[in-house]
Amino acid sequence: MLGLRPLPRTLPAALRDITHARVEVRLSALRDLARLGQGQQGEAARTALATALTSDSSVAIRSEAAVALADTDAREHLAALVAAVDDAAPRVRQMAFVALGELGGSERSDVAAAVRDAVRDPVAQIRFQALIAAFKLLGASESGPLIRHAFGDADDEVRYIAWRLAEDAWGGADALPEPVSAAAHRALEDDSSAVRIAAALLLSRHHDEAGEGMVVELLNHPSAALFPEDEQAAIELCAERALSEAMPGLERRAFPGWSFSPSPARFSALAALAALHHPRARRELLRGLGAWTRDARTSAVAQVQRAGLVEALGELRRMAKDPTRADPEVVSSAIASLQRLRDESTGDDAARGARAVVGDEAT
């Protein structure tokens, strides 16, 4: 017989059960304390979470308490989190760095020192999380040397996150610092495809042909293991830079044939191919505007906009008159964007025509 779901604990009940003998009861109480710890009225709940972090015998409790302190914005308990970075359990130390990165506290010398020390921790998971916390807490300039040091880390996941942080630190700069550029070129030969694509994307942001070549190589490689966000960025780069050499990889994602598990990047690949003037991709995107579901049609509108398909303007204007067909904001954005493209194209054609007339008259 099915029982009723227990009601959420009150604060007194949660404070009582956080010291219960059974770990599963304490875990349940901790989650109620995390819910009750929001805002000024949650001081007692946040204090109980800090106590659990520093004194509970269970690794699971201490780990979850660290994250709960971040979720409740318990900056008054930063000292407990700093103490937890020396916990005997790597999982607790890792979660303490997650919480410190979320809460901040870079003005405290003990917080800054903790993250600087931990990027050289013997445990790779700690180095990984501490590097993220260092970037969040210290900013790009102060964490830059720590990130550059991690380019040569023995663990491929740490190297990968270092390059992802490098993208945030230097991706928008006018030029890459020479040590970063040199390290990125070396990383194009890394054993990890994730590291290679992350370094390649950073180089490509600065129009580096070697980086663009690696992006194309990895997209075309049928078994290259890429994280979804990197795959997405690589596909968008191909469209932006007109990297037609990547068409085999884009086509494999866009046209899955009889596959029961098409690529999650299928629509992005279609948009990139359409931007590269691939006839079949353009037809499929336009056909998607008449898909069965509103969500699918809305997605197709966004991809049509991304691909710059000005020939879709007529259908989009018809869709704008019926909000049941697709999200009106997405449709409106697509119409405005594609109309600008059409106007710019018309203006360029007119300018070319005017120059031709002047040339004829001169002769």
The band of 5, judged by pLDDT with boundaries at 50, 70 and 90, is low
- Mean local confidence (pLDDT), 235-254: 94
Per-residue pLDDT of 132-165, as tens digits, reads 999 999 988 899 999 999 999 999 999 999 999 9
Closest CA to 246 of 271, 212, 203: 212
pLDDT for 36 equals 93
CATH number belonging to domain 182-245: 1.25.10
The band of 349, judged by pLDDT with boundaries at 50, 70 and 90, is low
How distant, in Å, are the alpha carbons of 190, 283, 289, 301, 305 from that of 316? 45, 15, 8, 8, 10
CA distance 337 to 331: 10
**Is residue 357 over pLDDT 50?**
no
**What's the predicted TM-score (pTM) here?**
0.82
Per-residue pLDDT of 183-195, as tens digits, reads 999 999 999 999 9
pLDDT for 187 equals 97
Q: Residue 67: which region, alpha, beta or left (left: phi > 0; alpha: psi -120 to 50)? A: alpha
CATH topology for 50-74+81-165 is Leucine-rich Repeat Variant (1.25.10)
pLDDT for 71 equals 94
The band of 172, judged by pLDDT with boundaries at 50, 70 and 90, is confident
CB neighbour class for 325 (10 Å; exposed up to 12, middle 13-18, buried from 19): buried
**Is residue 166 over pLDDT 90?**
yes
- Mean local confidence (pLDDT), 18-33: 95
Q: Which residue has the higher pLDDT, 225 or 74?
A: 74
- Mean local confidence (pLDDT), 13-24: 95
Closest CA to 196 of 159, 247, 250, 166: 159
Question: Which amino acid belongs to residue 343?
Answer: D
The band of 81, judged by pLDDT with boundaries at 50, 70 and 90, is very high
pLDDT for 170 equals 93
Whether the CB-CB separation of 50 and 39 falls below 8 Å is answered with no
Mean pLDDT over all residues of the chain?
90
Per-residue pLDDT of 290-310, as tens digits, reads 999 999 999 999 989 988 999
